[in-house]
Amino acid sequence: MDLSSDEEEVRTFIQVLSEKYNPENFPYGQGVVFLPSPPGSPDKGGLFLPSALVLSDSGIRKAGAGSDIAAVCAHVLELDLSFNQLSDWDEIGTIVSSIPHLDFLNLSMNPLSGVQLNPSMADVFSKVRRLVLINTQVSWDTVHTLTQHTPELKELFLCLNGFNSVSESPAACPSLRLLQITDNQLQDWSEVRKFGLLYPSLSTLVLANNSVGSVSDSKKTLEGLFPKLRSINLNNSGLSKWMDIERLNFFPKLEEVKAKGIPLLQSYSTQERRSLLLAQLPSVMFLNGSKVSEGEREDAERFFIRFYQDCPAQELSDRYHILVSKYGQLAPLAEVDLRPRCTTVNVRCGDRVETVDLRLEQTVGDLTKQLRALLQLQTSGIRLIYISQEMSSVFGPEELKGSSRALHSFNIQDGDEILVIPKSKSRCNSSD
């Protein structure tokens, strides 16, 4: 009997598993391990899959028989089911309950919008320690149901779910260490504050690509909300005031900050951004992904003092005064002209005299080409004799030798003379 088109489209977890890891598809044993039973054992042996299964983008809609899954997944620890068509938590629950040691579960890009997880089914997720729900449009109620039934959950990924608020939960998840909630629509710090209540042991909070516009809590509140937070990522957020950066210091354990692409820093150069950020975050050991050395920190703090020392006293921050008490008032850095240094000399060839500006970083070879073109000499061979106004009476003229030698090594000064002597009978063209 022919199957309908709808039935043909329904692919199960066990079906995809069998297709991908069928021993016939792996004649050399790749990807699967077949464990025969010991002689005399009642166990008939079985097919045991790799500890990490990747079944992404396989059109899976249903689980299939749980007993079949359990028969081959006893040793599976990680499962990637991203980009499938799973839209029923009961089907997901059947898969998970049949994998007794599952540690990592990736359900990203499955259509879970409007689908609620029954708390009576949630216990099957109890062993999961890392859970990825990126772009599933999962609800906060389902997230809270999951976290209440995963007592060992360490990492939770909720990116691209359209969250513009955070709902509260009757129970916290004290085991969670990492929350990544990038690319959502969070704007108010009052919503971010809820993460401190939901996940009191949070060590890493990734808020990149949200529009959070401030860190608007007191020191006491921030210390209590995130007592164990070590890393925060605020890349491409809406922070626009230095006060928001200063308040990050109230997190007692914070040692890593990422704050690229924020409005506050748009008007500064790349080096100014890093120095000003670093000077205001004295406990941070990693800034925007780079380790901070003690030398860099001192340079940044000294830069901070000089950057603000001409501002009116009423505009100077507490951090400025702290750093001045550490280093004292600093003299402005001397301005260094890094433009190539030029010296004006008289070039004499026969009866012709030209005033020439020399770039002293150029070489003798460069000068030879320059003067041959200037004087329109036909010969390729010329000698250059340097005559110093001050020292020629002592040391006499000096020939400029060594085509790769830089002119500044001869200590040429303004007003000195260079005599050009053609090596052939060519004559220097006189001026008209």
> Distance between the two ends of the chain, CA-based, in angstroms?
107
SS3 readout for 353-376: EEEEEEECCCEHHHHHHHHHHHHC
Answer whether CATH 3.80.10.10 is correct for domain 9-327.
yes
Tokens 């000089």 map to which residue?
Answer: 306
Question: What are the tens digits of pLDDT across the range 155-167?
Answer: 999 999 999 999 9
pLDDT < 70 stretches in the chain: 1-9, 23-48, 333-341, 424-432
- β-partners of residue 418 are 347, 386
Q: Are 264 and 232 in contact (CB under 8 A)?
A: no
Beta strands in 319-405 (DSSP E): 342-349, 352-359, 382-387, 398-399
DSSP H or E segment with residue 244: helix 242-247
Q: What is the pLDDT of residue 225?
A: 93
Q: Are 254 and 229 in contact (CB under 8 A)?
A: yes
Q: What is the pLDDT of residue 31?
A: 45
Q: What is the pLDDT of residue 8?
A: 56
Q: What is the pLDDT of residue 34?
A: 42
Report domain extents, the chain. 9-327, 342-422
Q: How many CB atoms lie within 10 A of CB 351?
A: 9
Q: What radius of gyration, in Å, describes the C-alpha atoms of the chain?
A: 37
The third-level CATH classification (topology) of the domain covering 342-422 is Ubiquitin-like (UB roll) (3.10.20)
Give the span between the Cα atoms of 110 and 350, in whole angstroms. Answer: 88
Question: What are the tens digits of pLDDT across the range 42-58?
Answer: 444 455 578 999 999 99
pTM attached to this predicted model: 0.73
Tokens 């007993």 map to which residue?
Answer: 67
